[in-house]
Amino acid sequence: MTKHYLVQLDGLRLIAVSCVLFGHWITYPAFKSFKDTIVSIGVNLFFVLSAFLITNILIKAKNINQNTTSDFYTLRQFYIRRFLRIFPLYYLVIVVAYIINIPTSHENIIWYLSYTTNIAWFYYGIDCGYFSHLWSLAVEEQFYLLFPLLVLFVPNKYLFKIFILIVAIAVISKLIPYLFVNDYTQICYIANRSIPGCFDCFGIGALLAYYSSFEKDKLEGILKRRLFFFICFAIYIALTVVQYHKGNIITLLFWQLSSAMCCFWLIGTASLGEFKGAVKLFLENKVVKYLGKISYGIYVFHLFIPYLLFRFGLKYYSFTGAIFVYAALYFLVTIGLSALSWHLYEHPINKLKKYIEYTK
C-alpha cells in the first residue's frame, strides 16, 4: 500500500497536545473555564485528526485489496497495526504506575486495563486522579472497535451518508443527559465526553477522509470557503462564553460540533499542504515535526509527571518565580521521557508494522 506522509499534520499534533498540556498546567481556580476550553480544543483536534487518518487508511486499504484479499484480512491487519502503535506504551505505563502505586492505580486498575476510564469517570463519578486524561484514549479505542467494520463492509457509495449519520447521532445523543441530569456541568461532561457524544468529532474527521479519498477537487473548493469556517469559529467562541456562564440546549448540541468544523478546515488545509508563510514554516519546522511525532508519548506521560516530581522531592510553591521554574521542569521532563520512550520502546515496536502490510 502506497504511503504518503502528510508533513504538516505533525505540527497539528503538537498544537493539540500543547493545548492539553497548557490547560493542565493552569492551576488557578479563576481560570478553570479557560483551562477546560483549551483542553477541549486539543482533545477535539486529536479526535478529528485521528478519525481522518484512520478512515483514510481504511478506505485506501479497502480499495487496493478489493480484488486481491478479503475485507476480513484488511480488518485483521488494521487491528494488529493499531495495537502495535497504541497498546505497548499504554499498558507499560499502567503496569509501572501500578507497581510504584501512583494514587488510584490499585483501586481502579480494571477500568484502566479495560480502556473504560471514560465510563468510570463520567458515568460512575470515580476519581481517576492522575489517570483522568486516559478517558480520551478510552473513547477512541471503543469507537475503533466497530467503526472499521462500517468502512470496510459498507459499499463506498453509502459511506458519506453513514458518516453524516454518525454526526447526527452525536447531536441527538446530547439530549439524553440534558433531559435526565440536573447539574449542567455534569451534563456537559457526559454529552461531550461520552462515546456517542464524541461522534461529531469522529464523524467530521471521517467526512474529511471521504472527501480526500473520493472528491479531492470538491474538498479544495470547500476549504476555500473561509467565511463559512470563520463563522463556525465565531459560533464556537460565542457558545463557549455562553456555556461557562449559564448554558442552554443550543450550546450543548452545537458547541463541540462547531469546534469539529474548525478542525475540519485546519486538518483539511494541512493535509493538502496548503498552509503558507509563517504557518507553513511553523508546521514544517523540524523541531515541531519531531515533537508532533512523539505527541502520543507526551499525552500519555504528562499528567503523571507532577506526581513523579513530587515523589522525588520537588515541592510545589505558588509564588510566581517558582511556578515558572516548575512549569519549565514539567515541560522538560515530559519531553525527555517521551523522547526516550519513542526511540527506545515505541519506534522499535512500531517498525514491526512493515511485516503486517495491508496487501499480501
* Residues 288, 294, 297: CA angle, nearest 5 degrees: 140
Let me know if residue 278 belongs to a domain. Answer: yes
Answer whether residue 173 is part of any domain.
yes
255-289: burial string, b at 16+ Cβ within 10 Å, e else: bbbbbbbbbbbbbbbbbeeebeeeebeebbeeebb
Does any domain span residue 14? no
Query: Residue 256 pLDDT more than 60?
Result: yes
Asked whether residue 41 is domain-assigned, the answer is yes
- Checking if the pLDDT of 74 tops 60, the result is yes
252 located within any domain: no
pLDDT of residue 315: 64
Contact 243, 249 (CB under 8 A): no
pLDDT of residue 34 exceeding 80, the answer is no
DSSP tag of 138 = H
Q: Say whether pLDDT at 2 is over 50.
A: no
Q: Is residue 255 part of a domain?
A: no
316 versus 307: which is more confidently predicted?
A: 307
The pLDDT confidence band at residue 189, using thresholds 50, 70 and 90, is confident
Range of lowest pLDDT (141-155, 277-291, 308-322): 308-322
- Give the structural domain span for 116: 19-228+261-355
On whether the CB atoms of residues 118 and 139 are closer than 8 A, the answer is: yes
* Sign of the CA dihedral with 158 first, then 160, 161, and 163 last: positive
pLDDT band at residue 63 using 50, 70 and 90 as cut-offs: confident
Q: Of 46-55, 68-77, 147-156, give the lowest mean pLDDT range.
A: 68-77
Mean pLDDT across the chain, nearest whole number?
Answer: 89
- Percent with pLDDT over 90 in the chain: 66
Nearest to 82 by CA among 354, 360, 350: 350
2 φ/ψ angles, rounded to the nearest 5 degrees: -70, 135
Does residue 66 surpass a pLDDT of 90?
Answer: no
DSSP 301-327: HHTTHHHHHHHTT-----SHHHHHHHH
Q: Give the integer Cα–Cα distance in Å for 41 and 17.
A: 10
pLDDT of residue 182: 82
Higher per-residue pLDDT: 252 or 213? 213
- Confidence at residue 5, expressed as pLDDT on a 0 to 100 scale: 58
pLDDT attached to residue 8 = 92
| Highest mean pLDDT: which range of 4-8, 92-96, 310-314 | 92-96
Tally of domains within the chain:
1
**Residue 49 domain-assigned?**
yes
Residue 204 lies in a domain: yes
- pTM recorded for the entire structure: 0.93
53, 54, 21, 56: which is closest to 39 by C-alpha?
Answer: 21
Q: How much is the pLDDT for 358?
A: 83
Give the model confidence (pLDDT) of 328-349 as tens digits: 888 899 999 999 999 999 999 9
Other Cβ atoms within 10 Å of 77 Cβ, number? 20
| Grid cell at residue 143 | 469507537
